[in-house]
Chains A and B, each alone.
Chain A
Amino acid sequence: MNRPIRVLVAKPGLDGHDRGAKVIARALRDAGMEVIYTGLRQTPEQIVEAAIQEDVDVVAMSILSGAHNTLFPKVVNLLKERGVTDRLIVGGGVIPDDDIPFLIQSGVEAIFTPGTSTKDVVEFITTHVKRQ
Chain B
Amino acid sequence: MYEKDKLDKILSSYQKWEENKIVKLIEKFPERKKTFTTGSGIEVKRLYTPLDIKDMDYEEEIGYPGQYPFTRGVQPTMYRGRLWTMRQYAGFATAEESNKRYKYLLEQGQTGLSVAFDLPTQIGYDSDHPLSEGEVGKVGVAIDSLKDMEILFDGIPLDKVSTSMTINAPASVLLAMYIAVAEKQGVSSDKLRGTIQNDILKEYIARGTYIFPPEESMRLITNIFEYCSKHVPQWNTISISGYHIREAGSTAAQEVAFTLADGIAYVEAAINAGLEVDEFAPRLSFFFNAHNDLFEEVAKYRAARRLWAKIMKERFNAKSEKSMQLKFHTQTAGSTLTAQQPDNNIVRVAIQTLAAVLGGTQSLHTNSRDEALALPTEDSVMIALRTQQIVAYESGVTETIDPLAGSYYVESLTDKIEKEAMEYIKNIDNLGGATKAIETGYIQKEIQNSAYKYQMQIESGERIVVGVNKFKVEEEQKKEILKVDPQVEIVQKKKLQKLRQERDNVRVNEAIATLTEKAKTNENLMPYILDAVKAYATLGEICGALREVFGEYQQSVIL
Contacts and interface: CB of A to CB of B under 8 A. Distances in A.
16 contacts: A13-B134, A15-B139, A16-B203, A19-B248, A23-B451, A26-B559, A37-B559, A41-B123, A65-B138, A66-B135, A67-B135, A98-B477, A115-B338, A115-B340, A115-B468, A117-B459
Nearest to A23: B455
B119 interface: yes
Interface string B482-519: 01101000000000000000000000000000000000
A18 to B, nearest CB: 7
Given A16-B209, A118-B459, A67 B339 contact: no
Contacts of A22: 448, 451-452, 559
B269 interface: no
A16 B134 contact: no
A70 B119 contact: no
Contacts of B139: 15, 65-66
Interface string A112-124: 0111011100000
Interface string A95-118: 011100000000000000111011
Q: Which A-B residue pairs are the 6 nearest by beta carbons?
A: A16-B208, A70-B134, A67-B134, A14-B119, A66-B138, A97-B477
B397 interface: no
How big is chain B's contact interface, by range? Answer: 35 or more
Contact of B339 (A19, A113, A118): A113
Contacts of B335: 19
A16 B448 CA distance: 14
B207 interface: yes
B559 A66 contact: no
Given A13-B135, A18-B208, A39 B374 contact: no
A115 B131 contact: no
Given A39-B555, A70-B134, A19 B372 contact: no
B69 interface: no
B73 interface: no
A94 interface: yes
Interface string B437-480: 00000000000100110010011000001001100000011010
A77 interface: no
B120 interface: yes
Contact of A19 (B131, B247, B338, B375): B247
